[in-house]
Chain A
């Protein structure tokens, strides 16, 4: 009984670490840049498939691929914000209008990225084996790759937290999230900050994709499912709250693990029930300010 319980909790944390990582990126994009980026999952897909391609074609270690995928995704995200979203921000009359428009534009981006990837890689489901040996954790057995995933999620979460609280640019980001106008007055180049946030969100998605590719099969159509999970976590933790996303991710992973134990087919349905209930009862999320 105790082992089963531990099993469920550890499996939940492993899953939750991944969810947290995915959600932090989206939270950054929504919380600061105000883009509810529906194409978030496509960056996860890009990270996953690039890692797969590097590993199978050039035998590049997935963890090393991080050094390539992360910065590339950052640059891509940065450019997308500077060209597309900055323009939209200027042309939309109000913030509410911008949120609607940018969400629609990100739908378009989703279709573009996904179908370019389909042309390049095709729809086949792919996978590879890396760090797949079992590790015994207090009687419960897990793949080493999943533990690495959790480790990375925590590492990136912490790095990110220190980045936001200790560095100059991190402080500028937080100032911009609080009050864009005031941040502008205080000498923060707001457009740069927003683009950096969007780029960082994309980089986190790509890193999550790399980690996913080590444990799960990957394909060009995988993105949307992760986008949806990220949205659920972000709502759970409070739109725009990065610590909220981290905790929300772990929480959702635990919930998923518990529901899967009792009724495997209902895990996703359970996520949506929580999501919808939360939107109805407390749309600001668990850690959000009203």
Chain B
């Protein structure tokens, strides 16, 4: 009987590496430049967005373009409550607000299949943006809002905590019954339902969990922008970026989205101020190349390479 080799040793190694990296990051502001701290916080943000996106969309195959709606909800939470409440509470509310939005949107729409779901989520971002715009101009008489300023080190630490929580959640879901249910839905939704999986509940809760982290991220990263308006907060690029980063990195492995987000967030930092058009052009080319030639992303590439190096051990008939 050939069972898939499950190596507790490998798990141990991964665990200890993750721990070392976390400790390294936790002590980093002590010795690194403030520029590095700012850059890392931005990279963390993209990793959280990408990983959250892949928590739901990875196994189920539903391409969500709602990330910007969840991020924007967090951003607005920060703008509204930032002056009144302590920072951790604001971040929590940001996450919860997005969580609730996702519950509502998910309950309404997760019966839409394929491309209809993508279109709906995209429409959701634009709808909220335009409602906010109208609301701001006509009811509060403003165009945008100022957000409280938080120092870079604090932003960094909050992002680090959110990153750790997201990775932990994504990992836990992958290993759990819940993850198996999500995957079965992505593979054959009808069969999953008839095998006892409560497909609506599983989909909606995964969607909401992934939205939580995005909303919390919006709440903390809003302090970076100091001034926000609906166009900044609900920028559709924040819906597209996580999709691209996850596809580029590959969703078969946990490290795929992390890798994809890191590469692009870093590229963005170094390219966008000097060559903004080249950055976005490159972005488009990579997206097409990934869809065409890298169905399993960088992670798939690495796995393929490992297979060749380690021989045909994992290759099945």
Contacts and interface: CB of A to CB of B under 8 A. Distances in A.
B281 A116 contact: yes
Contacts of A228: 122-123, 126
Interface of B: 61, 63, 108-109, 112-116, 118-120, 122-124, 126-127, 130-131, 133-134, 137-138, 236, 240, 243-244, 247, 277-278, 280-281, 283-288, 291-292, 295
A223 B220 CA distance: 31
B268 to A, nearest CB: 13
Given A99-B115, A115-B281, A276-B127, A105 B120 contact: no
Contacts of B127: 269, 272-273, 275-276
Contact of A100 (B114, B137, B138): B114
B63 A104 contact: yes
Interface of A: 36, 84, 87-88, 91, 96, 99-101, 103-105, 107-112, 114-116, 118-119, 224, 228, 231-232, 235, 263, 265-266, 268-269, 272-273, 275-276, 279-280, 283
Contacts of B112: 279, 283
Contacts of B247: 104
B115 A100 contact: yes
A219 to B, nearest CB: 14
A108 B285 contact: yes
A91 B124 contact: no
24 contacts: A91-B295, A96-B113, A99-B115, A100-B63, A103-B63, A107-B240, A108-B244, A108-B284, A108-B291, A111-B281, A112-B284, A114-B280, A115-B284, A119-B278, A224-B236, A228-B123, A231-B119, A235-B119, A266-B130, A269-B127, A269-B131, A273-B127, A279-B109, A279-B119
B284 A101 contact: no
Main secondary structure, interface of A, reads helix
Contact of B280 (A115, A232, A235): A115
Contacts of A118: 277
B281 to A, nearest CB: 4
Given A116-B281, A224-B236, A104 B243 contact: yes
The 10 closest A-B pairs by CB, nearest first: A111-B284, A108-B287, A272-B127, A112-B284, A108-B288, A269-B130, A115-B281, A108-B284, A115-B277, A115-B280
